């Protein structure tokens, strides 16, 4: 179980600064978002995670970076709509973090196909944090997943909240792109990752 009551160490802070700088000038946004995701997983002490981009035209979230999942889970959750039973859909709707301490007992998941898929992949808890820029634009959602139930009160969400805003601001700075222009990220199924 992760305990996030301690501040980030200087090395993690430097790593975040370097990744955000890369992201602002990125030629491979997917690879840089995968590095950001690794930091988010480390900050939360999670076992796996995703970054999803909000697709305004289709009004859905699409996975652009992932770590630790089977290809079946990535396929099932590749596109998440507002009515999907997930923490990321709830975070999209509410524009705020959603933390589920135990997917087996959460109203979001009980009796759903989504719960069956999560449990088959060994996921017991999840938290989703929206990526909202300082200007209020929703860019997507970070979700980190845990193999054991969690206790939300043991988490200090401030480091992940800061990272979420910094990532959204970096994407905004990078996007001298036309609004709605898409980028494609990296999805790495668990079975093809070194060290899983």
Is residue 61 a contact partner of residue 139, using CB atoms and an 8 Å limit? no
Phi (first) and psi of residue 120, to 5 degrees: -65, -25
Burial class (CB in 10 A: 0-12, 13-18, 19+), 167: buried
pLDDT at residue 8 in the model: 58
CB-based contact 62:53 (threshold 8 Å): yes
Q: How many CA atoms lie within 13 A of 132 on its CB side?
A: 13
Q: For 97, left (φ over 0), alpha (ψ -120 to 50), or beta?
A: beta
The DSSP-derived string for 79-128 is EEETTSSSHHHHHHHHTS-EEES-TTT-TTTTTSHHHHHHHHTT--EEEE
pLDDT of residue 12: 67
pLDDT, tens digit (0-9, with 9 covering 90-100), for 37-67: 999 999 899 999 999 999 999 999 999 999 9
Query: In CATH terms, is domain 10-176+183-192 a member of 3.30.450.40?
Result: yes
Residue 183 has pLDDT above 60, yes or no: no
| pLDDT at residue number 27 | 76
pTM: 0.82
| The pLDDT of residue 120 is above 80 | yes
Distance CA 115, CA 85 (A): 8
Tens-digit pLDDT profile for residues 128-150:
999 999 999 999 999 999 999 99
b (16+ CB within 10 A) / e for 54-89: beeeeebbbbbbbbbbeeebbebbeebeeebbbbbb
């Amino acid at each position: 179980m992760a305990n996030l009551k301690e501040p980030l160490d200087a090395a993690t802070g430097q790593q975040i600064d370097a990744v955000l700088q890369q992201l602002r000038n990125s030629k491979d946004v997917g690879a840089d978002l995968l590095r950001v995701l690794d930091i988010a997983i480390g900050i939360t002490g999670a076992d796996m995670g995703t970054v999803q981009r909000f697709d305004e035209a289709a009004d859905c979230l699409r996975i652009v970076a992932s770590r630790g999942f089977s290809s079946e889970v990535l396929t099932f959750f590749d596109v998440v709509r507002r009515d999907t039973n997930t923490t990321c859909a709830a975070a999209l709707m509410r524009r705020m973090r959603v933390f589920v301490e135990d997917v087996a007992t959460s109203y979001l998941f009980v009796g759903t196909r989504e719960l069956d898929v999560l449990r088959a992949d060994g996921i017991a808890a999840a938290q989703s944090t929206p990526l909202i820029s300082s200007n209020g634009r929703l860019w997507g959602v970070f979700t980190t997943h845990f193999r054991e139930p969690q206790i939300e009160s043991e988490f200090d969400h401030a480091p992940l909240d800061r990272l979420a805003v910094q990532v959204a601001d970096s994407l905004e700075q990078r996007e001298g792109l036309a609004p709605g222009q898409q980028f494609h990220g990296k999805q790495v199924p668990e079975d093809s990752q070194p060290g899983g």
